[in-house]
Amino acid sequence: MSDVFVSYKAEDRRRVEPLVEALEADGLSVWWDAEIGGGARWRETILKNLEAAACVIVIWSRRSSGSDGEFVHDEASRAKRRNTYLPVRIDKVEPPLGFGESQALVLQGWRGNREDKRYQAVLRAVRSQLGAPVRSAPRHRGPDITRRTALAGGAVAIAAAAGASAWWFSTPAPAATSIAVLPFENLSGDPGQRYFSDGIAEELRAVLSRISGLKVVARISSESVRDDNAKIAARKLDVGNILTGSVRRSSSIIRISAQLIEGRTGMQRWSQDYDRGPGDALQIESDISQQVAAALELQLIPALAASVVAGGTKNASAHDYFLKAQSVIESGHTAENLNSAIHLFDAALELDPAYADAYAGKAGALFALSSGFSHSQAEMELLLSQADRLAQRAIELAPQSASAHAARSGVALARLDFKGALSETRKAVSAPGVRPAILAGYGHLLAELGLTGDAYAIAKRVISLDPLNPKSYTIDAEALYSDRLFGRAIAAEQRVLTLRPTAGPPWIVIADSLLNLGKYQEARAAYAHLAVDDAYRLTGEGIIAHRLGNATAAAGAAKRIAQSFGGAASYQLAQLQAQRGDHEAAFASLNLALRVRDTGLISLLVDPYLDPIRGDRLFSAFRSEINFPPGIGR
């Protein structure tokens, strides 16, 4: 378990992340729920980590201190009872009644500097509560090697981390025809309007990315430098230009200020203030895009000047509902958020029945509900069918809608139609101005299918567009694993951990790669970063037990997988059974995976754990039941 538990409101996640990263950089193990998945046991996982932590940092903000912060209030109450409560304020608010007795430490306005006196006060308080010696932050430091990194496999892990740090600090000079759109500041005086200012920035990224010859950095990386000045942001993102601004909106007027700044010098290249009626946001976006193109001496396609985004709307109220829906989805992957977003998309479509992006957005939300929150096969299929129909409607209205084709790809993937999924994703990424998130999805699909040559090219492009997003580097790792370049796959995942040390998924590839290299003790240490009842961990530990001759432990792992997950982990069970040499049981599990539509089957033709049954006559027959694209497989 971790030393420190961080309790916070989900909407404050991006504001809390620098604190988590700073504490981990100072050698503390921190648990927070940013990496937790969905499912019925999420509250149990949170409670287990809350009760085990010796220090519980409770983040008091405008959101968490209000009536909507009941989960934070509950966690704070439990921490007070155990004398582990450490309050920290990130907004100028008073903690709720009953939590004000302890003086809250102030991090309001802190931007991640570990030498800042405010952060040092928090660090001293945490170490004091843990009974650890109080130290000052070092003036100079190299790449962080945390306890987790060291446990990943001794010299292998440390060498990988060292390689990652060299890569991180050796970036080329920024290109002049590249730009990052930083989040526009919300000056409306209402925190609830942030969805609108963030939405304006994201739509500007979308339209600017349609300009030929202009590289536009993605949202996650752009938002990660929200508090940096233009020169620092440009250096971190490797871009030549920064577009920033602010939004002030009332019932009678909308004021948008925008500035284009040359990244190397920090000098302003262009600026403009817009005071318009509340329904003119779409025209302002178009005007800004044209002015930026002119300042960069690039040609904005005439058709784009008339419409900010193909598939969009001219109805300001419909557009507002669409931005709200996107903001709700961004705030957290929960069934409640997805259903709320669906209602907002419906409101947009009621105002504009030809709003293709709203159809595509609703299709994506329905697909996410089906894949993550269905209670039965019938419910999943119903949601998939609804998502597919809506995506098709969006394509009828806007044939090049990347998000609609991406939604159809997801539906095909859930139905194990891997050929159809690849076809739809290729249509999505061929659309002008495709979002990096969709491009990344394409890269993952290629890597998992074993089409690694294309996957490497896509990974390079995604990293260029979203360099501060840890997930950008996982495509390379998956492709390297499919190519059985296990040492390089470990190094690629270590790059992810340098950006987000708390991330869980990289440890799966690291542990599996170490296992395939025959480094069983190091693999066990890597699997230990996953929950004890994680299906991937149980599978890997069972395979290690088998290879070391412990048949009883291997059989026990298989039994636990079957009892804990049923058909949901049938593919992982087949991997373990194949490694144990039980062909009959492995094919029985694969057939169950086919019946329940386990998408793990996407790796069937390249998975090294299935090598023992690959030559069996039943394997070819089973492979023919799945619609794989031609030309893949070992």
Tell me what pLDDT residue 138 has: 36
Helix (H) or strand (E) holding 88: strand 85-89
Alpha helices (H) along 209-280: 219-224, 230-237
CATH class of 4-141: alpha beta
Q: Where do the domains of the chain lie?
A: 4-141, 175-309, 531-634
- Cβ-count burial of 542 within 10 angstroms (0-12 exposed, 13-18 middle, 19+ buried)? buried
The residue among 355, 360, 362 whose CA lies nearest residue 313 is 355
pLDDT attached to residue 156: 29
Structure confidence by residue, pLDDT tens digits, 230-243: 899 999 999 999 99
pLDDT band at 300 (very low <50, low <70, confident <90, very high): low
Residue 206 clears pLDDT 80, i.e. is over it: yes
Higher-pLDDT residue of 602, 165: 602
At 407, the amino acid letter reads A
Mean of pLDDT values over 528-545: 93
Kindly give the pairing relationship between strand 175-181 and strand 105-106: unpaired
Letter for the amino acid at 122?
Answer: V
| CB neighbour list of residue 364: distance below 8 Å, 6 or more residues apart | 387, 403, 406, 407, 410
- C-alpha span between 205 and 1 (Å, rounded): 40
User: Within the chain, how many helices (H) and strands (E) appear?
Assistant: 29, 11
Which of 420, 429, 421 has the alpha carbon at shortest distance from 400?
429
Predicted structure pTM score: 0.68
Q: Is the pLDDT at 163 greater than 90, yes or no?
A: no
Return the SS3 of 223: helix
Domain 4-141 and domain 175-309 have a common topology: yes
Most confident of 77-81, 106-110, 203-207, 524-528: 524-528
- Provide, rounded to the nearest whole percent, the portion of the chain with pLDDT above 70: 88
**Average pLDDT over every residue of 163-183:** 53
Taking 90 as the threshold, does the pLDDT of residue 587 lie above it?
yes
Q: Categorize the per-residue pLDDT at 214 as very low, low, confident or very high, splitting at 50, 70 and 90.
A: confident
Contacts of 12 (CB under 8 A, 6+ apart): 59, 61, 63, 64, 90
Q: Which residues pair with 363 in a beta bridge?
A: none
Structure tokens that stand for 524 in this block: 């066990």
What is the per-residue pLDDT for 375? 76
> Residue 132 pLDDT more than 90?
no
Overall average pLDDT of the 83-108 stretch: 83
How far, in Å, are 3, 50, 85, 287, 515 from residue 81 at the CA level? 17, 12, 8, 57, 43
Q: Map tokens 């039941």 to a residue.
A: 625
Cα–Cα distance, 202 to 330 (Å, whole number): 12
Q: For position 299, what pLDDT does the model report? A: 61
Query: Average pLDDT, stretch 372-381?
Result: 80
Lowest-pLDDT range, 3-7, 84-88, 286-290, 398-402?
A: 286-290
Report residue 75 CA to chain centroid gap.
25
pLDDT of 102: 67
Average the pLDDT over each of 123-127, 281-285, 335-339, 528-532 and give the range with the smallest value.
281-285
Q: Is the pLDDT of residue 159 over 50?
A: no
Q: What is the mean pLDDT of residues 483-502?
A: 90
Residue whose C-alpha is closest to residue 309's, from 181, 432, 466 = 432
- Fold observed for domain 175-309: Rossmann fold (3.40.50)
Ordered alpha helix ranges (H), 415-519: 418-430, 436-449, 452-465, 474-482, 486-499, 506-516
SS3 state at 184: coil
- Whether residue 454 is predicted with pLDDT greater than 80 in this model: the reply is yes
